[in-house]
Structure 1
Amino acid sequence: MAFQIIDGVRVWGEPDSSAVSQAVTCANHGNVVQALLMADHHKGYSQPIGGVVAYSGQISPSGVGYDIGCGNKAVRTNLMAADIMPQIGSMMDQIANQITFGVGRGNRNRVDHELFDDPDWNVYMQVAGKKGHDALKRLAREQLGTVGSGNHYVDLFTEPSTGRLWIGNHFGSRGFGHKTASGFLNLAAGRGFLDKAPGEHMDQAPTLFDLDQEHGELYYRAMKLAGRYAYAGRDYVIDEVLRLLGATADFAVHNHHNFAWKEQHDGQETIVVRKGATPSAPGQLGFIGGSMGDISVIVRGKDSLENKQSFYSTVHGAGRVMSRTQAAGKMNWKTRTRNGGAITREQMKQAIDDFGVELRGADTDESPFVYRKLQTVLDAHHETLDVLHVLKPIGVCMAGANEFDPYKD
């Protein structure tokens, strides 16, 4: 078996002590069936990124995290990448101009969607009252189809083996999901849903709800609504990029990696909370992104013992090896300047130029130097997944430098 067991936690890849410590804390709180760390794991808020915790009858809003439903979508287009390379600069300009990136930004093109008639919006009437419900729904309407900041992106890829052009994106439920997570964490602490939450520390124990209690049932419904919202946003952005390209799609892969699923494992009903981890049941497809200077892949879960032992979970990306502050320096939000970080913009530009990427936006905290190589973490899971398509980025678009990212992945 390719994983090791550390204090009861199943760990793939090279163990990161801070993430392992967080996973052990999670394993020792609540009705835990199993705690696991995927090979891209690193420290997160309460439950580590790349962390998977299976519960019996419980759900963890701190485990799902603030960016509920964060995930990836990729589509293969009918175009050849070579056909758009002469216009790659202008195409990336159009994506940067037409798709909204950045914290708190609304979509300049209001999107009507059947999601806003979903009966689960009634959850917010119960937990936040009419005023809170209306404000959250208004925010969700304004931000549907916007990408946000941090490590969220819209990419164009070539598949070297076929020359086909692919589109991929990565983001979640935006401010609506963040306020949903904050609200339920407030309720768990005895505060009002809309209260300003005090600063929580990264290593605190997980927040848990019993699913058969009111807050657990309401959170589960709200989480699923935020997940549908994230899907709708990623669908919209992919469709917009297809429109800009004048392309159609003939294959799609779409999945969350910050979410909780009701699943059967070893004949037991469980709630599997994955934070920065991709579901990989036998035959299930997933899109896993690397850094802006690395490959991304489409994978399929294997029907193997090790995949079963992983609770049908795998990596969601390459995994950070350097914090944002280490890479880019500490930000002075009054002057919008940073002190010196470990990575310079010149180093980042050289790296992506060498890899052949047309970049829009991003700061050095998203440079290739702050991530593992994706192949390294995929190798750690080779018994659990098959790589179907290898994608190489040719265009990367992210929020601009000096954007504050409060979402904790």
Structure 2
Amino acid sequence: MNGKHIQKLGFEKRAIKLALDAANLREDAGAGRNDILEELQAVQNNPTGYLSGGVYAELAAELHEQQQATVSRQSAALRSIPLPYRVWGQDLIEPSAHDQMDVAMRLPVSRAGALMPDAHVGYGLPIGGVLATENAVIPYGVGVDIGCSMMLSVLPIAPGALSTDEARSLLMKHTRFGAGVGFEKRDRQDHEVLHESTWKDQPLLRHLYPKAAEQIGTSGSGNHFVEFGTLKLREADLDMEPGEYLAVLSHSGSRGFGAQVAGHFTALAQKLHPNLDRAAQKLAWLPMDTHEGEAYWQAMNLAGRYALANHDLIHRRLAHALNVRPTAQVSNSHNLAWKQIHKGRELIVHRKGATPAERGRLGLIPGSMADPGFVVRGRGEEGALNSASHGAGRQLGRKAAAKSLAKKDVQGYLQQRGITLIGGGIDEAPQAYKRIEEVIARQSDLVDIVAEFQPRVVRMDTGSEDI
């Protein structure tokens, strides 16, 4: 028995050596050449039948991997034209965001999608994009800041009872912002999310746990914020009477933990689809029925819970400092994927900068550092995959905002609206965002407005150029 006999069967590369090694063992055991060749052909035709053990197990594993790679390459071909999808706020959305959504809707695993009125260009899926896939999860369809989310706490204090100076002092003492930043060890608080056994289930999660524990209860940079303001409740709701209330609103995510999870699993997905069209490389996916897909799903959901834990501690600190308990709280994630039944099929719905808006579900859609945000209740619009916008959405990129906006104009805008800003940069100026009132108006069939929040004292990370 030699390599030429095996090569004639169609074995390639490393499989030839493994087949020859197995054949030699069978010859040593007294098997004839024809019997061995028939056995090798049987392994080639059905490698999964030989994976459990025996002389052909290693060869079967190699053949199985080769077959899976072939299937992956074949399945990575994009559709020639994108599947149709609904758009809300067409007049507010730049063409390049449409281009990104079109690529996403050409993926072979895509089944449905929608574009929200705050949509703008992102990495892979546009911000404000909603994408439903079958048996596949796309790390960049969720985003780098996994679990990025909102939380509002209504406090039993009259809005005017908290002075600007006191609000500023509370935010300075009880919040932290910026890449790599955490509370000093003596001031760090515990949270039940840090005691989940999930952290021990993957080497990556075990590795990231110490940093996650250091940064618990803090916020990142960019558009993350914590702010005191006034909530105007239009009608009796949230178990409260109509009126004006002091409230805390925060926007934060999963910090460096989520970013490293996103990077790790995106690299795995891209390795799995090496021939994916260049335009779609940031949309490489992981099949849900693979070890990699299951591992990402577990890590993603942990990052989502961790992000909400950050909000929980932020609000807990501020309420404790004021010696009160919130009378109502609302929260939602807007960078996550969910299992959802759509037209009778279970799909994976990615919301990258989109708010879940199932019928009756409460959510939060903020404006900018100086413009109002809204508590909303979903209307369950199937065409939007039960989604709404996650905010106002950018109309100027960070570099464009820093280059084109004058500091005096931004300061004047804040002063007119009575906003006290701690930190913040020109790249996060209100003028860099679409008008939230226009964005809300374009989605009246997606959500109903429950209450309006007007910020008053805002804390953010320091930007590239301070305001």
**Smaller-chain TM-score range?**
0.7 to 0.9
Structure 2 residue 460 is matched with structure 1 residue 388: no
- After TM superposition, give the deviation of residue 177 of structure 1 in Å: 0.5
Structure 2 residue 377 is matched with structure 1 residue 296: no
Structure 2 residue 442 is matched with structure 1 residue 370: no
Aligned to 1:106: 182
Alignment deviations for residues 384-403 of structure 1 (CA, whole Å, 9 cap, x no partner): 21100011111111011338
CA distance in 1, matches of 2:197, 2:173: 34
Aligned to 1:150: 222
Please report the TM-score for the alignment, with normalisation by the length of structure 2: 0.76
Please report the TM-score for the alignment, with normalisation by the length of structure 1: 0.86
Alignment deviations for residues 102-153 of structure 1 (CA, whole Å, 9 cap, x no partner): 111122222222222322223432xx4xxxx443110000001111110000
Q: Indicate the structure with greater strand content.
A: 1
Secondary structure class of the residue paired with 1:189 = helix
CA distance in 1, matches of 2:324, 2:168: 15
Alignment deviations for residues 237-276 of structure 1 (CA, whole Å, 9 cap, x no partner): 0111212333321111110000000011121111100000
Q: Structure 1 residue aligned with 2:86, among 1, 7, 10?
A: 10
- After TM superposition, give the deviation of residue 101 of structure 1 in Å: 0.7
Q: How does 1:161-240 map to 2 (within 5 A)?
A: 162-190=243-271, 204-240=281-317
Closer, same or farther in 2 for the Cα pair 1:57/1:144, shift >3 Å?
same
Secondary structure class of the residue paired with 2:156 = strand
CA distance in 1, matches of 2:83, 2:436: 27
Any stretches of 5+ residues in structure 2 without a counterpart? 1-81, 234-242, 273-277
Amino acid of the residue matched to residue 250 of structure 2? N
Amino acid of the residue matched to residue 145 of structure 2? D
Amino acid of the residue matched to residue 325 of structure 1? K
Aligned to 1:69: 147
Q: Determine if contact 1:145/1:236 at 8 Å carries over to the other structure.
A: yes
Aligned to 1:95: 171
Secondary structure class of the residue paired with 1:399 = strand
Aligned-CA RMSD value: 1.9
Structure 2 residue 407 is matched with structure 1 residue 345: yes
Alignment deviations for residues 208-262 of structure 1 (CA, whole Å, 9 cap, x no partner): 0110111001100000011110111110001112123333211111100000000
Structure 2 residue 392 is matched with structure 1 residue 318: yes
Closer, same or farther in 2 for the Cα pair 1:25/1:354, shift >3 Å?
same
Amino acid of the residue matched to residue 259 of structure 1? L
Closer, same or farther in 2 for the Cα pair 1:323/1:188, shift >3 Å?
same
Structure 2 residue 252 is matched with structure 1 residue 252: no
- After TM superposition, give the deviation of residue 26 of structure 1 in Å: 0.6
CA distance in 2, matches of 1:77, 1:203: 46
- After TM superposition, give the deviation of residue 293 of structure 1 in Å: 1.7
- After TM superposition, give the deviation of residue 56 of structure 1 in Å: 1.1
CA distance in 2, matches of 1:44, 1:264: 26
CA distance in 2, matches of 1:205, 1:360: 35
CA distance in 1, matches of 2:383, 2:311: 31
Structure 2 residue 264 is matched with structure 1 residue 264: no
Any stretches of 5+ residues in structure 1 without a counterpart? 1-5, 192-200, 329-340, 405-409
Q: Indicate the structure with greater helix content.
A: 2
Aligned to 2:239: none
Higher relative contact order (CA 8 A, sep 6+): 1
Q: Determine if contact 2:222/2:463 at 8 Å carries over to the other structure.
A: no
- After TM superposition, give the deviation of residue 188 of structure 1 in Å: 2.3
- Higher CA-based Rg: 2
Amino acid of the residue matched to residue 191 of structure 2? H
Closer, same or farther in 2 for the Cα pair 1:403/1:268, shift >3 Å?
farther
CA distance in 2, matches of 1:188, 1:401: 33
Alignment deviations for residues 281-339 of structure 1 (CA, whole Å, 9 cap, x no partner): 00000011100121100000125xxx1211100000001000110111xxxxxxxxxxx
